[in-house]
Amino acid sequence: MLSDQVRASIDKSVLCWLATCSADGQPNVSPKEIFTYYDTDNVIIANIASPQSVKNILVNPKVCVSFVDVLVQKGFKLTGLAEIFNKNAPIFEELSKPLLKMAGNGFPFGEIINIKVNQTAPIMAPSYLFYPETTTEESQTAKAKKAYGL
């Protein structure tokens, strides 16, 4: 499910957004800084400070994760079912290894959100759609660098 292209995009992204929904239908979107893919079907996220996301997942495991390369302005939207693993789960230690490499000592976490991805879709800036003749990754990067003062 997670193609090489999706995994490469995850590797280049520094932030993702996790969308969840409560039992009564209230949506919640929360930024996540420590995330990666576990294999070709699962995305894992360190639960650093997201009590509402966890609460929502426990009653409604359907989630959406999105991430973009802010310079190129392309990324992906992934949907799937989430599961929470705490330190007592047999798989916690294995899942935590790549997240600990990213987090170091700066972000302790005791839970991992595992998302079994069932659908992927590309995300791209509207310029790619409306101005395909003149919009390239290079032109988007140049505009983004100018906008961000890079």
| Its pTM surpasses 0.75 | yes
Q: How many other C-beta atoms are found inside a 10 Å radius of the C-beta of residue 148?
A: 9
Tell me if 133 is assigned to some domain: no
Tell me if 142 is assigned to some domain: no
pLDDT for residue 107:
85
- Whole-number mean pLDDT of the chain? 94
Question: Is pLDDT above 90 for 31?
Answer: yes
Tell me if 23 is assigned to some domain: yes
Report the candidate in 6, 115, 13, 10 with the shortest Cα–Cα distance to residue 64: 115
- Mean pLDDT on 22-32: 95
Tell me if 99 is assigned to some domain: yes
Question: Is pLDDT above 90 for 104?
Answer: no
